[in-house]
């Protein structure tokens, strides 16, 4: 049988289908090196000698935590504090002031980070709110963070980051104000930690546990999906977003040619989307 980087073609096809069926992430055929890199340690920790043995075992077993571990190891969880900066500037200068003005009677605001990874994005928003919008501390504010990976959510719930993670995007004054150094790591303060609700949610499944949102961050997620899945997700987002709400996508993502219900809005250098009213 043809072997590619130590993983057979048929085994890698099984892995690709497993990842797609449970996360909708398209793992391209040239990504066999990821399987080689990440799955051998998983196989060994499960008492199996090789990736081939791991795949053979998974083929015969019902979906389990081992399958989840394999999927999570192959799905990108790249993130950082205040990543790309412009969306957070738009949130601070335009979006939150506008929403606060519109919702001043209701005094309720919901923000959802729909693929929060290790938590840097929702904690960035929490620090921004604490720093610039103290009025919201007296509102019904829900800052919800979700991901399908329990592994990254465990880190997000802990709120502890190493020196490299802290240096990526976090202003020093925010670090000094909102973090405490513990050995070589940095622990986020309880006041910020407690602002964020963390939930395990697979975007392919039901979102019925979530309230409708005024701001949704779905950044650098659509790029991993095929067209059909992108359209299906945007259709669900349309139902989840309040009429005056805003959707933030990644720099390489757009709703154009996918869903005409959204219109593009530009705030300085930041691009976001809202529903056509």
**Given this model, what pLDDT does residue 4 score?**
37
pLDDT tops 60 at residue 1: no
pLDDT tops 70 at residue 5: no
Domain assignment present for residue 33? The answer is yes
CATH of the domain at 14: 1.10.155.10
Rounded distance between C-alpha atoms, residue 41 and residue 37, angstroms: 8
Q: Pairing between strand 7-8 and 213-218?
A: unpaired
* Span of 8-22, 207-221, 240-254 with lowest mean pLDDT: 8-22
Q: 23 and 106: one domain? A: no
Banded model confidence at residue 36, pLDDT cuts 50, 70, 90: confident
Domain boundary among 53, 74, 95: 74
Domain holding 120, by residue range, is 86-275
**Given this model, what pLDDT does residue 55 score?**
92
Better-predicted residue by pLDDT, 153 or 7: 153
Please state, in angstroms and as integers, the Cα–Cα distance from residue 152 to each residue in 116, 123, 149, 159, following that order.
Answer: 8, 14, 6, 11
What's the domain count of the chain? Answer: 2
Q: 159 and 52: one domain? A: no
Q: 95 and 68: one domain? A: no
Banded model confidence at residue 148, pLDDT cuts 50, 70, 90: confident
Domain assignment present for residue 69? The answer is yes
Better-predicted residue by pLDDT, 151 or 89: 89
Mean pLDDT of the chain: 91
CATH of the domain at 109: 3.40.50.150
pLDDT by residue (tens digit) across 92-108?
Answer: 999 999 999 999 999 99
Output the six-digit token pair for 260. Answer: 């005409």
Rounded distance between C-alpha atoms, residue 255 and residue 274, angstroms: 10
Banded model confidence at residue 172, pLDDT cuts 50, 70, 90: very high
Domain boundary among 26, 53, 74: 74
**Given this model, what pLDDT does residue 186 score?**
97
- How much is the average pLDDT of 68-89? 87
Q: 20 and 128: one domain? A: no
pLDDT tops 50 at residue 65: yes
Q: 133 and 262: one domain? A: yes
Domain boundary among 51, 74, 97: 74
Q: 120 and 238: one domain? A: yes
- How much is the average pLDDT of 63-82? 85
Please state, for a pLDDT cut of 70, what percent of the chain lies above it: 97
pLDDT by residue (tens digit) across 207-239?
Answer: 988 999 999 999 988 988 899 999 999 999 999
Rounded distance between C-alpha atoms, residue 39 and residue 227, angstroms: 28
Banded model confidence at residue 6, pLDDT cuts 50, 70, 90: confident
Domain assignment present for residue 79? The answer is no
- How much is the average pLDDT of 113-133? 95
Q: 134 and 206: one domain? A: yes
Rounded distance between C-alpha atoms, residue 162 and residue 261, angstroms: 41
Q: Tell me which residue has tokens 């959510």.
A: 153
Domain assignment present for residue 115? The answer is yes
Q: 205 and 237: one domain? A: yes
**Given this model, what pLDDT does residue 72 score?**
83
Q: 166 and 270: one domain? A: yes
Domain assignment present for residue 81? The answer is no
Q: 27 and 112: one domain? A: no
Domain assignment present for residue 181? The answer is yes
Question: Which of 115, 109, 135, 119 is CA-nearest to residue 193?
Answer: 119
Banded model confidence at residue 247, pLDDT cuts 50, 70, 90: very high
């Amino acid at each position: 049988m043809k072997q590619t980087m130590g993983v057979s073609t048929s085994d890698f096809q099984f892995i690709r289908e497993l990842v797609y069926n449970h996360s909708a992430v398209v793992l391209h055929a040239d990504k066999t090196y990821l399987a080689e890199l990440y799955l051998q340690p998983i196989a060994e920790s499960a008492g199996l000698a090789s990736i081939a043995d791991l795949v053979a075992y998974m083929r015969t077993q019902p979906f389990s935590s081992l399958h989840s571990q394999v999927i999570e190891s192959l799905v990108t969880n790249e993130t950082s504090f205040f990543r790309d900066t412009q969306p957070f500037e738009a949130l601070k200068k335009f979006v939150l002031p506008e929403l606060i003005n519109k919702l001043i009677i209701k005094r309720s605001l919901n923000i959802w980070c729909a693929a929060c990874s290790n938590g840097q994005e929702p904690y960035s928003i929490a620090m921004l709110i604490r720093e610039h919008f103290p009025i919201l501390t007296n509102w019904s504010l829900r800052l919800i963070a979700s991901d399908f990976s329990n592994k990254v959510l465990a880190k997000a719930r802990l709120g502890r980051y190493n020196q490299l993670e802290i240096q990526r995007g976090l202003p020093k004054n925010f670090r000094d104000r909102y973090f405490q150094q513990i050995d070589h790591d940095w622990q986020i303060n309880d006041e910020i930690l407690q602002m964020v609700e963390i939930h395990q949610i697979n975007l392919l499944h039901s979102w019925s546990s979530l309230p409708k949102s005024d701001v949704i961050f779905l950044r650098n997620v659509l790029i991993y999906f095929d067209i059909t899945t992108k359209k299906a997700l945007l259709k669900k987002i349309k139902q989840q977003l309040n009429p005056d709400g805003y959707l933030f996508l990644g720099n390489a993502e757009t709703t154009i040619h996918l869903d005409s219900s959204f219109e593009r809005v530009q705030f300085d250098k930041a691009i976001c989307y809202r529903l056509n009213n």
